Structure 1
Amino acid sequence: MAALYLISYDLRKVRNYNQLLNTLRDWGCISPLESVWVGHMNGAATTIRDLLAQHMDADDGLLVVQIQSPGQWATMQVKNNAADWFRKHVAA
């Protein structure tokens, strides 16, 4: 069964990151905030990190954290109906 992950990145150079964003979308992730994505993915956090790092520069930052469900969460002014997504997938 796929685990729920939060992914955040810090892109430090000006570059086209369409491949990174397309990968996250292809994995079925949603983006509640700029540079933050959440979704169900197979594999360990290190595997996800390594796959995404292929689409980033060496000096960019990347954080991959597994979210436990049920869990606590709160939102404010998030996009893409993210609160509904969290309510469904990370119900407290």
Structure 2
Amino acid sequence: MISYDLRKVRNYDGLIKILRGWKCISPLKSLWLGTLTGPAGTIRDLLRAQMDSDDGLIVVELKPGADWALYKTNENAAAWLQANVTP
């Protein structure tokens, strides 16, 4: 799970290009889900290169068996969570 907060300058193009290239989905405006390989720190660093120094970023590993619930997300979020997180 990747979420970001672009603060002063809001240029999402570089981030979105990388995330879509990784075949991530976006259930909410600044939240992405993807099946990625590698440490969270490496993913953070690759995305951080597309951000300004005042922006925020979080990368969290969702493991099978984790509990989840949705409300008013894009339609593909539930399917992704069912396929990747639900045991």
Deviates more, 1:63-72 or 1:45-54: 63-72
The structure 1 segments of at least 4 consecutive aligned residues displaced by more than 4 Å after TM superposition are none
Mapped to 2, the partners of 1:66 and 1:56 lie a distance apart of 21
Give the percent of matched residue pairs that are identical in Structure 1 and Structure 2.
53
Q: Kindly indicate whether residue 46 of structure 2 is the aligned counterpart of residue 51 of structure 1.
A: yes
In the TM superposition, residue 71 of structure 1 has moved relative to its aligned partner by 1.6
- Count the aligned residue pairs: 87
Mapped to 1, the partners of 2:75 and 2:53 lie a distance apart of 30
List alignment gaps of at least 5 residues for structure 1: 1-5
Partner of 2:26: 31
Partner of 1:63: 58
In the TM superposition, residue 16 of structure 1 has moved relative to its aligned partner by 2.3
List alignment gaps of at least 5 residues for structure 2: none
In the TM superposition, residue 42 of structure 1 has moved relative to its aligned partner by 1.4
1:1-92 equivalence runs, <5 A: 6-92=1-87
Aligned residues: CA RMSD: 1.1
Instruction: Please give the TM-score of this superposition, normalised by the length of structure 1.
Output: 0.88
User: Which is richer in strand?
Assistant: 1
Report Cα offsets for 1:32-54 as digits up to 9, x if no partner. Answer: 11100010111100000000000
In the TM superposition, residue 17 of structure 1 has moved relative to its aligned partner by 2.0
